[in-house]
Structure 1
Amino acid sequence: MNDVESQRPLARLKKYFTINRFLRSIFHGFSFVLFVFVLLWGCKIWFTIDEEQSENAILKDLKILTPFFFTNWNFVFQTIFLGISLTHDVLEWLDKDKSSLGEKIKYWRDVIFCGMVVPCTLFVTTMFWCVYAIDRELVFPQIYDQVVPWWFNHCVHTNITIVILVETLLQARRKPTDMKLELILYVVIAIVYAIVYYTIYFTTNRWLYQVFGTMNWWQVCLYQLAIWGMMYIFYRIQFPVNRIFHGKEENVESNEQNEQMDKNDESSIKLNENTKIDDTKENGKVITDLKTPPFSTKSWSIKFRSIKNQFENSRL
């Protein structure tokens, strides 16, 4: 009875992980297909802006500078992450996730998510919609509506945060996988994009985002520092937020130890059963004499020692 009761938590745990794996696989598969479709549609928009539309300076800049918008960089980061996540899900279903390849894919999946996807995505969504609410012309001029569908705008500025939220609910990431590498990725992206952004301004005398055009230089510097600080805060807060949904690390380690002990107990039981079967056989014959090894070498428990002689002297 106790064995059955002890196996119930393990059965529930296995059921939870199976359901969780199924949900993650569906989510990653659907999201990856959607993101690839949006990327292809974005390329279509980019290539189909005709000469007549390009007569407008804003649409002309859109056609020329599309690869340099940070929104597009972030969307590519998310697509890469979803592709890696889907690959790892497939390996899990094939029981290959503990292989050398599976461990590497899992490592890079988590590093990319924590160091690139989370800070960049939350920054893009927060900054875009805050400025959009004040004056959309500063980030998404109304003339863009002629070439960019409304749903495309939400895919690259709104749905990206939904992906973060769902991923946080489905996947435990209570602490950094490799904080040093994650921070390096964050810093490299921040600095490289700043170089690209300001290079565009100094070579074309135009701001990629018009919100910068409303500021003087010391305000631009403060705004840039605020952007970097905001992204760093988003990186740091993702872990305590994740622990709210998935529990603290100590509880997880305890559950993993209990699960490992249950597995060890199961292995020990199977080993003992096999040993008993082997001990009671000799030259293909089953040993039934209680005075013959291995029975003669086995000690009786205290509970049944009082009836030992009755069994050993019995003719049955």
Structure 2
Amino acid sequence: MLKTLFHLFGAIQFFYGCYYDYNYVNIPSSSSSVTPYGGKFKYLTYLDAMIQTAYFTLALLNDLFGTNEPSPSHKPLIRRIKDTVFSALAFPLAVFVGVTFWGIYAVDRELILPRSLDPYFPLWLNHVMHTNIVVFILIDLLTSFRMYPTRKVGFTILTSFMLCYLTWIHIIYFKTGSWVYPILNVLNWPVRVFFYVFCLGLACFAYTVGEKINKSVWSNEVEKTVRSGKKKAK
């Protein structure tokens, strides 16, 4: 019951964060050098909040109509989708967004969230988008068992998403001459490429951390599921 309520609260929280950001956070062009091209969907923070909304909704549906058993005789489709979304997108992206945002913020917040935007982007929304995503996904990792996909599948989904997003922000730049994030304005191209590689490596590292924590916390359940799979194969 508590797990169901937690997933319900997570889904509502991130949905409302996306809704509020989309409808009420309107930054005048005079207060920001960022182009309006692409709307909210040019920000990885917003895309990640949408993914968190989708994940917690899937987790809620699985609580209600699926199963959380370690090795069920039949794993419902909703459970398989939930496990894959968590492993390949929800966890690594939440950690990536939280670490990079607050890391850059600590060095120089003007490079990620300039003070001029404070009147338009409320503090509570900032924490929903950049803090709670990490807190909630970590709690879910420690309280709900899931079976990670193979690394080939997980890394393929994650790197495909990251590369698509990287392509997207460059489309915006070449169309408008404006970078989505102020930090990219202060980097030359060689450093910028290194920054991209570092970000991709960080996202993949976050994936492996989640995988290892899941295996450590749920080692017995993972072993039961693996044994169950081998018996079926025979």
Q: TM-score over 0.5 for the alignment?
A: yes
CA distance in 1, matches of 2:66, 2:81: 16
CA distance in 1, matches of 2:87, 2:209: 11
Change (3 A) 1:55 1:213: closer
Q: Which residue of 1 aligns with 2:131?
A: 158
Alignment pair present for 1:243 and 2:219: no
CA distance in 1, matches of 2:37, 2:128: 19
Alignment pair present for 1:210 and 2:189: no
TM-score (norm 1): 0.65
Q: Which residue of 1 aligns with 2:21?
A: 42
> 1 or 2 for the larger relative contact order (CA 8 Å, sep ≥6)?
2
Q: CA deviation at 1:92?
A: 4.5
Q: Which residue of 2 aligns with 1:302?
A: none
CA distance in 2, matches of 1:59, 1:65: 14
Query: Among residues 58, 79, 95, which one is paired with 1:106 in the alignment?
Result: 79
Is contact 2:38–2:172 with CA below 8 Å preserved after alignment? Answer: no
Gaps of 5+ in 2: 229-234
Q: Which is higher, the Rg of structure 1 or of structure 2?
A: 1
Q: CA deviation at 1:54?
A: 2.3
Is contact 2:34–2:180 with CA below 8 Å preserved after alignment? Answer: no
Kindly tell me the number of residue pairs found equivalent between the two proteins.
Answer: 225
Q: Which residue of 2 aligns with 1:253?
A: 224
Q: Which residue of 2 aligns with 1:310?
A: none
Q: Deviations over 1:136-178 (max 9, x none)?
A: 11110111111111000000000000111111111123x5234
Gaps of 5+ in 1: 1-21, 258-316
Alignment pair present for 1:199 and 2:171: yes
Give RMSD over aligned pairs.
2.6
Q: Where has structure 1 moved over 6 Å in runs of 4 or more?
A: none
Q: Which residue of 2 aligns with 1:231?
A: 203
Paired-residue identity, % = 24
CA distance in 1, matches of 2:19, 2:33: 19
Is contact 2:105–2:113 with CA below 8 Å preserved after alignment? Answer: yes
Q: CA deviation at 1:243?
A: 2.7
Q: CA deviation at 1:35?
A: 1.6
Map 1:1-316 onto structure 2 (within 5 A).
Answer: 22-46=1-25, 49=26, 54-58=28-32, 61=35, 65-92=39-66, 103-173=76-146, 176-248=148-220, 252-253=223-224
Amino acid aligned to 2:48: N
